[in-house]
Amino acid sequence: MFSLALHGGAGTIARTALTPQLEAAYRAALTDALAVGTAVLGGGGAALDAVMATVSHLEDCPLFNAGRGAVFTHDGTHELDAALMTGADRRAGAVAGVTGVRNPIQLARLVMERSEHVLLAGVGAEAFARAQGAAFAGPDYFHVALRHQQWLEAKAAGRVQLDHGSGSLPASLPASLPDPARKMGTVGAVARDQYGHLAAATSTGGMTNKRWGRVGDTPLIGAGTWADDATCAVSCTGHGEFFIRYAVAYDIACLMEYRGLSLAEACRVVVHDKLVPVGGEGGLIAVDALGNVALPFNSEGMYRAWRTAAGEEGVAIY
Ligand code: ASP
C-alpha cells in the first residue's frame, strides 16, 4: 500500500489562457510524472526515491517553473531552489539560488547524503555540486521562450512576479497571459511507501525578475517542504513570502501532532483559515502516515496528480 501526490504549481490559471492543446500537454506531463513515481513505489521502492524520481522528471519538463523551465531573474539568469526531507529520520537537504545545475533536487539529495549540512546556497552550493560531479547545463538549456517573454514584461513593468506556464508550445500559447502578477509555478511530490515511511521534495525557479538573492519558501525546511513519519509529508507552492512567515508545511504537522487534527482538517485550517485572510495565495500537497492524501489550494488552480493508498488516481488543474 502506497500513496503519491505531486504538484506543478498553484496560482491564477485562467481557463481562457489555457488552450485545449496546452491543457492536454499539462495533463499528459502530470500523468507521466505520476507514472514515474508510481513505478518506483509499486516496485517496492522507498518514498524518498519516489519523490526524487517524480520531481527530477518535472524539473526536466519545460512546462513547469523548476529546473529546465525555471523563470528568469532580474539579471537574466536562473537561480534555482530545491529541498527534500525524509520522514523516517527527519534528514533533509536543500539548495538555494544555484545556477546551471540541471537537477537541483538531486543536488539537494547530495547535500543531505554527502555533506554535514542541510542548506547550501549560491556559489558555494555550485562548488559543492562540481565537487560531487552533479550535472550542469548551459544557459541555452534553461532558455524557454515564454519564460524569457515573461521576464521582459516583468522587467519593463518593474515588478517581481510568480509565473507558471510554458514556452515549449509557442504555437498554442495565448498572445498575452492574463493577470501576470499573480501566476505561480514550482513542482513537488510527497509519498508514503509500503513500509510506512514518508518523504517530500520541492523544486522551483522562484519568482520572475527576482533579485538580490531572493529565496522563497521552497528550500526552507518547515516552510515549503516537510516530512515526519509521525504526522505527514508536505510540499508547498504559492507566494513564498507568506509560506515562510506562516511556516506552512510545519504548521500542518503541528496541528496534527499537538491538536490531533486529521490531515484534511489541518490542511483546511492552514490553507484557508490562516492564509486566505492575509492574502497568502497558493496550495500544497500532503500525505499522512496512513496514506491519506490532501491537495488543498486557495488559488484559482493548482496543477496536481495523485494516487491514493486505495489505488485511486487523478489528474486535475482547477
Ligand atoms: N513558492 C515559490 C516561491 O515563492 C513559488 C511558487 O510556488 O510558484 O519561490
List, for residues 285-303, the tens digit of each pLDDT value: 999 999 999 999 999 999 9
Q: How far is CA 187 from CA 6, 57, 72, 130, in A?
A: 7, 10, 16, 24
| Residue among 290, 288, 314 nearest 302 (CA) | 314
Q: How much is the average pLDDT of 9-36?
A: 89
Average pLDDT over all residues of the chain: 91
Global confidence as pTM: 0.92
Written as nine digits, the cell of 237 is 507552492
First to last CA, the chain: 28
- For residue 205, give the ligand 1 atom closest to its CA: 9
pLDDT band at 31 (very low <50, low <70, confident <90, very high): very high
Q: How much is the average pLDDT of 77-102?
A: 97
From the list 186, 208, 237, 308, the catalytic residue is 186
> Which one has a higher pLDDT value, 158 or 101?
101
Q: Tens digit of pLDDT for each residue in 229-258?
A: 999 999 999 999 999 999 999 999 999 999
Atom 4 of ligand 1: nearest residue by CA position? 240
DSSP three-state, residue 178: coil
Counting ligand 1 atoms within 8 A of each CB, the residue from 218, 236, 303 with the most, and so the one to mutate, is: 218
Contact 163, 180 (CB under 8 A): yes
Counting ligand 1 atoms within 8 A of each CB, the residue from 72, 184, 243, 248 with the most, and so the one to mutate, is: 184
- For residue 238, give the ligand 1 atom closest to its CA: 7
Counting ligand 1 atoms within 8 A of each CB, the residue from 162, 211, 243 with the most, and so the one to mutate, is: 162
- Is beta strand 198-204 parallel, antiparallel or unpaired with respect to 187-192? antiparallel
Residues with C-beta less than 6 Å from any ligand 1 atom: 9, 65, 162, 184-186, 204, 206-207, 216-218, 224, 237-238, 240
Contact 80, 216 (CB under 8 A): no
Residue 12 is a catalytic residue: no
pLDDT band at 165 (very low <50, low <70, confident <90, very high): low
Q: Tens digit of pLDDT for each residue in 171-222?
A: 333 333 333 333 457 999 999 999 999 999 999 999 888 999 999 999 999 9
The Cα 135–Cα 15 span in angstroms is 37
